[in-house]
Amino acid sequence: MYDNNFMAILKFKNLTIAQVIKDTGLSTGTVYAFKKRNCEKIRLDTLSKLCIYLGVSLDQLMGDKTKSLEVEQFLIIEEEKKKEIEEISKRINEIWG
């Protein structure tokens, strides 16, 4: 059994397992196995798809669950950076637009 931050990331991003299944096209069994950390044979392309969809690195997704607070803090910082970039882009478009 492997530890992961899957549920902490979903909670932070306000996502449900049903949304992940629908949006990624992954099977229900695969996603629930990953949720239950019963994923010893999960495929690399599946992990990649989850990481891309969630906007996290493999290390953040598969990291130690006891470090979920660190992952949440990282995600908060990433969201703040994204908002700053969007605001800067908006300002540039106003100036040069």
Domain span at residue 39 reads 6-96
pLDDT at 7: 86
CB 24, CB 6: distance < 8 Å: no
d(CA 22, CA 19): 5
Task: State residue 3 phi and psi, 5-degree precision.
Answer: -80, 150
Domain-embedded: residue 1? no
Domain-embedded: residue 32? yes
CB 48, CB 26: distance < 8 Å: no
Q: Is 67 helix (H, G, I), strand (E, B) or coil?
A: helix
pLDDT in tens, 11-64: 888 999 999 999 999 999 989 888 876 667 788 899 999 999 998 888 888 876
Domain-embedded: residue 36? yes
**What CATH number does residue 24 fall under?**
1.10.260
pLDDT at 62: 83
For the chain, what is the domain count?
1
d(CA 59, CA 23): 22
Domain-embedded: residue 68? yes
Domain-embedded: residue 13? yes
